[in-house]
Chains A and B, each alone.
Chain A
Amino acid sequence: MYAIMTVTGADHTGIIAAVTTALAEQEVNILDVSQTIMDNYFTMILRVEFDEQTHDISALQERMGEVEKAQGLVIRIQSEALFTAVNEI
């Protein structure tokens, strides 16, 4: 499935490394990335793909929860279907 992952929090060194390492471990493929800093506030949006037969989104959310805690971030992983439904006619 395709999912949108958003990562927000106070900017510091190593955020992208921590997030993408965890994704690689989980065999989650990154298809697109957008990242910006606003007033020292780190915001990254990733479009990712993974096999929902072998990967449960809840397990992925749980693993990213560890990164969230360690790095002091907020990480959300939501099905792309929601954003498509709400924003496209």
Chain B
Amino acid sequence: MSFHLNSQNILDTIEMIEQYRLDIRTVTMGISLLSCTRSTMEETCRAVHDRVVTQAARLVEVCEGIEAELGIPIVNKRISVTPVALITAGVEGNPADVARALDTAAKEVGVNFIGGYSALVEKGATTSEKALIRSIPEALSETDVVCSSVNIATSRAGINMNAAAQMGRVIKEAAELTKDRSAIACAKLVVFANSVGDNPFMAGAYHGIEEPDAVVSVGVSGPGVVDRALGNLSGATLDQVAEEIKKAAFKITRAGQLVGDMASERLGVPFGIVDLSLAPTAEQGDSVAHILEHMGLDQVGTHGTTAALALLNDAVKKGGMMACSRVGGLSGSFIPVSEDKGMIDAVRSGSITMDKLEAMTAICSVGFDMIALPGETSAETIAGMIADEAAIGVMNHKTTAVRVIPVPGAGPGDEVNFGGLLGYAPIIPVNQVGNGEFIRRGGFIPAPVHGFRN
């Protein structure tokens, strides 16, 4: 072909979209609510609602226009807001009212999720943060699209074990309140260490206080595209595998940057970041675990899995960083269990366990993500998982998170379905040995020496 694009490139790009599920996982608009605090909860809720529906009025329409123009699906349109505990500070009343206002606003503008029912308590909680954390089970069980997150640790502050213990109880309570819906509230709740204020992915998205009034950020997807790139690699060495992943990640990220630029221009809002995470879905051909298996593991979970994941994570970042102007968010590989066909199969066959998942979280960009636990798992055991993940994050200067779902009445061997992108998952067995005394001690685990770099 005489013009600068050759036919093969064009057909390849179309094939990536149509056969290998290249898509934009999310365009997320971050909205600051710092101007919304009023003297009563009712007025604050009204201000929050009005701020969201005004700022995001055209978000879905603009994204749909971009989808049509580029022919690339934008799977989710989302909003993240300032951690709500910051704007309810000093306001009497139930913070869950703000969650209901956010839910209404999100539905009015037609987005899939709204995140930011959040508190940042790594060094201690304010009165308003305590009230918000207590209200999380109510807020998540009575709303549909609101997502919540609590940051309980940073490399600089250490780990707030009082908060870890409390979040174990909050997760149990949220599960109980939504037991007739597969404990869906827990799928909308993340406990973080080293959380970031520009993450476009749910359930952990919130609009950090370091951010401007509004931004648009993009989260890309495309495990299928990376998997396809490895298709003809029989006999290739692992450094050759890394090179191929970099090239595929570059292409995926360029599509993300383009969508971000277009959305930013059309919405008149600054462009935030591209999150370079490979986000899987439970559909065939959209699995991060299958990429690892393609490298030569018989099934994900076997010895060598963590090394393969390290290679993948690093290559995705290297390929993606050159492809976009500003990288941010979580940027790495997601390994949610219920949202990844290969991970689901590995849990079913017993080839992956909580212990191996924990090891993988030292490498991946999140942590224990979308893992269905037996209903009888205690709050202390969950708090122990939170503490372990926080320790990995704090010691390694990375984000880690826990989004686990103790499904009431379910035990190992059962399966639960969360619907849509949240997928489905077999219940994974959990270590039964007690840790209650350790969790009940409370207090803080001090920050590591390397947290005091200055």
Contacts and interface: CB of A to CB of B under 8 A. Distances in A.
B254 A34 contact: no
Contacts of A79: 69-71
Interface in B214-237: none
A47 B71 CA distance: 15
A32 B4 CA distance: 11
Q: Is the interface of B mostly helix, strand, loop or mixed?
A: helix
Nearest to A36: B7
Nearest to B255: A86
A16 B70 CA distance: 23
Interface string A66-82: 00000000001111111
B169 to A, nearest CB: 47
A51 B21 CA distance: 31
Interface string A21-54: 0000000000110101000000101010000000
Interface stretch (B10-18, B73-81, B366-374, B417-425): B10-18
A86 B251 contact: yes
Contact of B10 (A31, A36, A45): A45
A45 B1 contact: yes
Contacts of B69: 57, 78-79
A85 B3 contact: no
Interface string B132-149: 000000000000000000
7 contacts: A32-B1, A80-B5, A83-B9, A83-B13, A86-B254, A87-B251, A88-B5
Given A32-B3, A77-B71, A88-B4, 16 more contacts: A4-B5, A34-B1, A43-B11, A45-B1, A47-B3, A78-B14, A81-B258, A82-B13, A82-B72, A85-B257, A86-B13, A86-B16, A86-B251, A87-B9, A87-B13, A87-B251
Interface of A: 4, 6, 31-32, 34, 36, 43, 45, 47, 57-58, 61, 76-88
Interface of B: 1-5, 7, 9-14, 16, 65, 68-72, 251, 254-255, 257-258, 262
